[in-house]
Chains A and B, each alone.
Chain A
Amino acid sequence: MWGILFVAPAVLGFVLWQLGPIIGSLFIAFTDWRLAGTPQWIGAGNFEKILAEDRLFRKSLGVTVYYSLGSVPLRMLVAFALAVLLNQKIRALPVFRTIFYLPSIVPVIASSMLWLWLFNPDFGLLNSILRPLGFPKLQWIYASDSVIPALILMSLWDIGPMMIIFLAALQGVPRQLYEAVEIDGGNAWHRMRHITVPIVTPAILFNLILSIIVAMQTFTQAYVMTDGGPNNNSLLYVLYLYRKAFEQSQMGYASALAWVLFIIIAGLSLFVFRSSSRWVYYGGR
């Protein structure tokens, strides 16, 4: 009874502001709607076209999966490592934490400028450092085979929020447990493996689900920096969808694309959630 009361505002908010638009977008997905006039019902036409004919749908899905497979595990690992690092008892901790969070504060418009400049093959900072070290002239986001790796590299830069979530979770690790392991003769690895990781598994689950959702919907980098190029090799799914929706005014087709992506993400999330009962440890249970 109390439980329902507590979640009531959130559920009401969902019903009021989100359920309608979600159902609306599902309806639009079954129509041909070009913003003018009323949507024309065309049944599963959009979905048939997407699955049967649309080569760019396949291309963009492939690009997105490639990007996600690279960025999700790397971001998780680096964010966790940073959180552990910044959970040490060291001097100037607030300064270090703030510095590592900084990239996430920089407005996107300024940070994408920065990365365009870093990645520039002729005038960029990265090549100006690497080339004297004997590296060849790397093309970064300007070559078909390196554009996604470059974007993955870039995605490691604003992991501040993930790091913070891990850091907050690490606060919940009771100190006595470490002392117990120490008394049993365990080393740092044992502490990490048997205490730290199990206790932060709820945060790991959160970050994993969220980073899958975020990675699959990555848009801004491709929109601002690569425009999907070269040769569609960074045509992330949501960029393709965006073009359909806001450049070509094909709202029906765009909605259908969105629902296909939704089903994929929901499936992945459900899979992760199902598996989580085997690896997530909740102190409250």
Chain B
Amino acid sequence: MFSRLRFTAGLVIALAVAGTTLAQVELTFTFWGGTFERDAVNQTLEVFNSLHPNIHVTGQHIPNAGYNEKISTMAAGGTLPDAGYMDSSMALRWATDGLIKDLTTQFANDPMAADRLENMWYRWDNGTKTIGTAAAVESMILYYNRDLFDAAGIDYPPEFASEAWTWDEFVDIAKQLTVDRQGNNAASPDFDPDNIDVFGIAFPTWWAGWLPFVYSNGGQLASDDGTELLINRPEAVEALQALQDLIYVHHVAPTPAQSQSLPAADIMMQSGKVAMSVDGHWKTLAMSQLGFNWSFGVLPMHQRPATLIWGGVTVIFEGTEHPDEAFELINFLSDPTQSALFTRGLWMPLQRIYYTDEAKAAEWLDAVPGVYPPESRGVLLDYTLNHTPRQPPVFWLKNLDQIWTDAVNPAMSLLWTGEASAQEAMDQAVRDSEGLMQGRW
């Protein structure tokens, strides 16, 4: 066993030596993701290597479950890779602490960079430095099961934001789609809320599930200077109360499960137990593989149509000896013509032109038949470009990890379990945020 081990170790060293003679620059890139994303990224890296004979990138796939431990340990040991995925709040903190490279000059010299959506930049030091944009765009949209709408004889959710349902329209439709075991829908007087068979709507409980509705009602999580939470203000509370009422007053939504990785909504929608679900654009990949009659529309609105866009960030670590090659790499990974992640429904492009130019849009929306439904032009292009009024706090609010875990998430859980009203819960969040608000990055 041991000689085998020594042999393996020797082989690894030999290969590494051979590698350096072939290529002048060795890069390591760490990333997470399921098996599909793993294979897609590895494939893109191979293409990158073949197009850049002077660079050799080694992809290091790290399971999500241990990414933070692994990357933290590497940071402590001074063995960080050249570039890699990172949780965005953590990335901004690490950037401030000097572990991540400022790419301001690299991006200034990159002609394509200017076309990236303005809301996607992660900046710090009062906007003077940047770790780059998200690797790709994600947005929150409304998925639905067409068959359930057809059976109830209801029009599908609108494709264009200009026709977005008002909240009252939405609640009415959700009621008609919610059916108990006797077959009565939630609008009927005989409806039995204790024995619901099909729910009209499901939504995730983490921030991307409720923040769009707060924005739509004119509210926000925190003040623009990042010094106080505004989540207990009437605009925010109203939107949050409306969400809670979906569960406990209208009985059209299931008690939200806490885990975001539990395949709740998409699977339940496929099996006909949920008619509509608020979820991220990335679910398109899973939806398109589930084999049922689905599509998506824009979210219902309060005062104005609104969704939010953001994305995980790919950073270059400070310790790299080859920042220019690493920069080339992360740009390559975000190029819709190179990565299968864009055409298969996991990522959306960063450049504005992919949203405004029909030929360019077709490059990612129509590349693989059966992935994107026909409604994509409205839901993914117009909605993303024109109805994202605010930059979510992940881009700019300092100490956000702790604000979530110590103040906001506990209060939100009270809301979802029905143990407090929106006002009571959010007052608690604001109380608990004392001492945590540290301004902007």
Contacts and interface: CB of A to CB of B under 8 A. Distances in A.
Interface string B243-275: 000000000001101110010000010000100
B406 interface: yes
B93 A230 contact: no
B76 A35 contact: yes
Contacts of A56: 406
Interface string B84-105: 0001001001100111000000
Given A35-B76, A137-B194, A142-B417, A122 B99 contact: no
A149 to B, nearest CB: 15
A184 interface: no
A47 B84 CA distance: 34
A109 B65 contact: yes
Interface string A218-232: 000000111111111
Given A36-B94, A144-B419, A247-B68, A123 B401 contact: no
B416 interface: yes
Given A56-B406, A229-B413, A231-B411, A249 B93 contact: yes
A141 interface: yes
Interface string B114-147: 0000000000000000000000000000000000
Interface residues of B, number: 36
B419 A230 contact: yes
Interface in B292-312: none
Nearest to B253: A122
A277 B199 CA distance: 60
B75 interface: yes
A37 interface: yes
B75 A35 contact: yes
B150 interface: no
B8 interface: no
A155 interface: no
B91 to A, nearest CB: 11
Contacts of A18: none
A49 to B, nearest CB: 11
B72 interface: yes
B401 A247 contact: yes
Given A36-B75, A231-B413, A224 B259 contact: yes
Nearest to B414: A231
Interface in A198-255: 224-232, 243, 245-249, 251
A51 interface: no
Residue of A116, A139, A229, A243 ringed by the most chain B CB atoms within 10 A:
A229
A113 interface: yes
Contact of A230 (B68, B99, B199, B413): B413
Nearest to A230: B413
A268 interface: no
A245 B99 CA distance: 16
A54 B10 CA distance: 51
Contacts of A109: 65
A228 B405 contact: yes
A116 B419 contact: no
A130 to B, nearest CB: 13
A111 interface: no
Contact of B414 (A116, A141, A230, A248): A230
Interface of B: 65, 68-69, 72, 75-76, 87, 90, 93-94, 97-99, 194, 196, 199, 254-255, 257-259, 262, 268, 273, 401-402, 405-406, 409-411, 413-414, 416-417, 419
13 contacts: A34-B97, A35-B99, A37-B98, A120-B257, A121-B254, A137-B194, A143-B417, A144-B414, A226-B258, A230-B413, A230-B416, A246-B69, A251-B76
Given A142-B255, A230-B258, A231-B411, 7 more contacts: A109-B65, A123-B254, A123-B273, A227-B409, A230-B419, A232-B410, A249-B72
Interface of A: 34-37, 56, 109, 113, 116-117, 120-123, 137, 139, 141-144, 224-232, 243, 245-249, 251
The 8 closest A-B pairs by CB, nearest first: A36-B97, A230-B413, A229-B413, A246-B68, A122-B254, A35-B75, A231-B410, A232-B410
